[in-house]
Structure 1
Amino acid sequence: MTLEWKGSQEELDWDELSKLYLAAPLGHKAPADLERVFSNSMFKCFAYDAGRLVAAGRALADGVDCSYICDVAVHPDHQGTGLGREVVARLVALSTHHRKIILYAVPGSEPFYKKLGFKRMSTAMAIFQNQVQALERGLLNDS
């Protein structure tokens, strides 16, 4: 498998990216919303296999203090091949000059990210638009 890597959204098909998140499965993310969040992210990473988008991720960063890696998705046909690890590694490399790199993970994926050097934060807090749903999905702990 020879992949083409891109760090720019210049020629990105937003509908194709939306379908990747649905297939991954990370849920429905509207193409217009994806365009907005990726445009506002300092770092982006896209992998193509024979012209087809098969992996993506981004990092919101301020250039000095904090880089936040999020929205890492790998198409099911390519999961288990090390592609997700490579997307995260590329985003971490782009973020190395930041004092801290934070990653938001889907519950259950923590062991994967631990292997990549991430550690659980004891002080992270969040307010979600839909707090009830976030509690149900295990994203928040009410205790």
Structure 2
Amino acid sequence: MTINLTARQSPLNFNAMPAIEYRHNFPLPVADVAAVFDASGIRRPTRDLARIERMFANADLNLSAWHEGQLVGVCRALTDFSYCCYLSDLAVAKAYQNQGIGHELIARVRAAISDEVALILLSAPEAMAYYPKIGFEKIENGFIIKRSR
């Protein structure tokens, strides 16, 4: 199935759109996830569908947003449900951004992990201004060993 999440003939009228449906740990077609990643602007290895499939198969939490049966947003997290949770992916197709979908996906992660679990993420440089707007605090005490591929 081919999904085109970027081409629109006319501006979207979000007031007339049916509500977004959210799903928790729902099986996601890997090609649809790759399409959302590409349509969102997030950089992920979308040509390597086997890798994308492993990313979601091995996550503890997968939240998804759907509009009229079409996947439009994904959120993937790794957690112990006791102390910490790493928010690894948050992607919403650009045609659906600025409608609160990303914020709602994060709210659903927070509800699943409880308030005793810290939610941690690494932000892409272009998304640094987004996360403080939805309640994240910037931290300076982190370290990384970057992937080699």
Matching residue of 1:113: 131
Correspondence 1:30-109 to 2 at 5 A: 30-109=48-127
1:22 aligns with 2:32: no
RMSD (Å) for aligned C-alpha atoms: 1.7
List, as ranges, runs of 4+ consecutive aligned residues in structure 1 with deviation greater than 6 Å.
Answer: none
Distance 2:145 2:88 in 1: 17
Identity %: 28
Match in the other structure for 2:145: 127
Larger helix proportion of the pair: 1
Aligned length, in residue pairs: 130
For the residue of structure 1 that corresponds to 2:126, the secondary structure is: coil
* Maintained 8 Å contact 1:67/1:98: no
Contact 1:57 1:88 in 2 (8 A): yes
Query: Whole-Å Cα distance in 1 between the matches of residues 40 and 68 of structure 2?
Result: 18
- With structure 2 as the length reference, what TM-score do the two structures score? 0.79
Deviations 1:58-106 (A, max 9, x none): 1100121210112100011101111111111111222225432102211
Matching residue of 1:4: 21
Query: For residues 87 and 80 of structure 2, what CA distance do their matches in structure 1 show?
Result: 12
Structure possessing the higher relative contact order (Cα contacts under 8 Å, 6 or more residues apart): 2
SS of the equivalent of 1:121 reads: coil
In structure 1, C-alpha distance between the alignment counterparts of 2:81 and 2:117, rounded to whole Å: 9
Contact conserved, 1:14 with 1:34, CA < 8 A, in 2?
yes
| CA distance, structure 1, for counterparts of residue 26 and residue 95 of structure 2 | 22
Q: CA deviation digits over 1:20-73, x for unaligned, max 9?
A: 101111134332212211121111110110111000001100121210112100
Alpha-carbon distance in structure 2 between the residues aligned to 1:4 and 1:125: 36
- Where 1:126 maps in the other structure, the secondary structure is coil
- For structure 2, list consecutive stretches of 5 or more residues without a partner in the other structure: 1-16
Unaligned runs of 5+ residues in structure 1 are 132-143
1:108 aligned counterpart, secondary structure: helix
